[in-house]
Structure 1
Amino acid sequence: MIAPLAFLLLLAIALGFGGRAGDPADRPAILAIGTAAILTCAAQLFLHFYTAQLAVAGIDVLLLGYIWWHAFRSHRYWPIWFAGCMITVVTFDICALVLPYGERSLFLVASAFWALPALVVLVIGVSMDQRITNKVR
């Protein structure tokens, strides 16, 4: 019970900081990250286990595609770092989907774990990009 609450607290802090301190062009990407997190929680709460894992993998792939697209258009560094974390998440999601039922738990835990560094990367990257932008001005 503590881990999901800690994740939601970190998510709220990261999204709030990213939305407040980030570049206005980054706000749709930050909104997409929040939406993906809410959809993931809903899928895990309301869907059967394998269907939920399939839905979560689909959400993660869509988020990775959007963040990748945003990273190519952006002059900021954090979307590239976030996309790197998301590649790891999607890799573990796919491994969990193709492995037999008993062997996938490690990959599901690893996939969930890599969401935390992705949020940390969001906060650190936005603050570093903001600091660089302020030095240029």
Structure 2
Amino acid sequence: MSIIDIPALSLDQRLEGVFGENTDPMFLLDERAAELIPDYQAIVWECDAKTFVFSHVSQSAEEIVGYPARRWVDEPTFWADVVLHHDDRDESVTYCASETACDRDHDFEYRARTADGRVIRLRDVVRVVPPMDGHPKRLRGIMLVVG
């Protein structure tokens, strides 16, 4: 039994626990997501805040949307061009870019297309990580399947 009573924490509190510190390596966020939000299908990710090119996407992405996690990292516009539903693309990209430009953490919902043609709804919770240790400003996020 864990010292922390996970069910007693709100989802937002559990998400804060997953994010941890800005210096935490991404594998820790993956591990904490499995521990703190086991009742949600979640994709943990990190990208460059200027280019929105992903540097990390958890393996759970393949289970949830059906595309290999490697595609998110190898194809610079994969999330915007393939995953995002075309009707939500412009609004989602614009919102995320404007909030990021203002250095504001944010969250938003949008429809996503899966590899097998289904449409699912995702809540994307995004944290802005300021530049440090020679790294550019980054975004870290957790996409949760909702609805």
Q: What TM-score results when the alignment is normalised by the length of structure 1?
A: 0.30
Q: When the two structures are superposed, what TM-score results if normalisation uses the length of structure 2?
A: 0.29
Q: Highest relative contact order (Cα 8 Å, sep 6+), 1 or 2?
A: 1
